[in-house]
Amino acid sequence: MKKTTRQLVLNKGAEKFIFRYENGREDKLLDALIEQAKDKRTDFDWFDAAVLSFKLTQSLIGQADELLRENTDAQIHTH
């Protein structure tokens, strides 16, 4: 099965932070957000990490809803 690559983008002033991750590897993305927020060499802070974490959560909820709809539709059509 082919892995789907997803991305989260944060525009902050003149900077753009792009985080790419494979579907199912959201844990690694969260680790990267934490490391980036800890890194004092960038303007990416804990608020930014929270914003992207929220966006990730919303995306996962959307994916779960889509799977539930697909499963419900499949069950309706098989009965």
Number of H helices, E strands in the chain: 2, 2
pLDDT of residue 30: 97
Q: Give the H or E element holding residue 5.
A: strand 5-12
Could you tell me the two tokens for 66? 């889509």
Sorted by where each begins, the domain ranges of the chain are 5-78
Tens digit of pLDDT at every position of the chain (79 positions) = 578 899 999 999 999 999 999 999 999 999 999 999 999 999 999 999 999 999 999 999 998 998 888 888 777 766 5
